[in-house]
Amino acid sequence: MLQDLDILADRIGQLVKQSRQLQTERQELLARLKRLEAERDALREQNQRQQAEFASISTNLASHQSTVADIQAKSEQVQRELTARIDEVHAQNKQLHIDLSNEQAASNVLREVAALARDQVGAVLMRLPGDQQAQE
């Protein structure tokens, strides 16, 4: 019977030792769980900050893209207007050159007509009776 009690005491000692080991392991696991939960919370907060930053950047990007599109549309409109104005000025310039050529041609014709009229007036004056030297 003593032997049974010794075996029982040894067995109880082993159970106590095993229970202490399990308690230590439990405490280590609880500490590890707390560290992992803290890490999870930190990662969750970091993720939320990054998502907020991403949303802000996306909003800014959309705003900038809209601004760029507006500026580009205005620039294209101004370019079209300037191109139309350049075409207008070129057409006016071409018309002015044509008008100038016509006016120069008309001026040349008038000079020729004036010279011819002067010659004819001179010829008529030469044929008039009277003192030719006084007329000259």
Tens of pLDDT, residues 69-107: 999 999 999 999 999 999 999 999 999 999 999 999 999
Please indicate, yes or no, if residue 136 is contained in any of the structural domains.
Answer: no
Q: How many domains does the chain have?
A: 1
The Cα 133–Cα 136 span in angstroms is 5
Per-residue pLDDT band for 136 (boundaries 50, 70, 90) equals low
Residue 129 is predicted with a pLDDT of 85
Q: What is the longest distance spanned by two Cα atoms in the chain?
A: 187
Domain encompassing residue 52: 2-128
Supply the pTM of this predicted model: 0.51
Could you read off the pLDDT of 22-47 as tens digits, one per residue? 999 999 999 999 999 999 999 999 99
> Over 60: is that where the pLDDT of 124 sits?
yes
Please indicate, yes or no, if residue 44 is contained in any of the structural domains.
Answer: yes
Please indicate, yes or no, if residue 21 is contained in any of the structural domains.
Answer: yes
Per-residue pLDDT band for 2 (boundaries 50, 70, 90) equals confident
The two structure tokens encoding residue 116: 């011819």
Please indicate, yes or no, if residue 134 is contained in any of the structural domains.
Answer: no
Please indicate, yes or no, if residue 135 is contained in any of the structural domains.
Answer: no
The Cα 126–Cα 135 span in angstroms is 8
The Cα 1–Cα 9 span in angstroms is 12
The Cα 28–Cα 20 span in angstroms is 12
Residue 133 is predicted with a pLDDT of 53
Q: DSSP characters for 41-55?
A: HHHHHHHHHHHHHHH
Please indicate, yes or no, if residue 133 is contained in any of the structural domains.
Answer: no
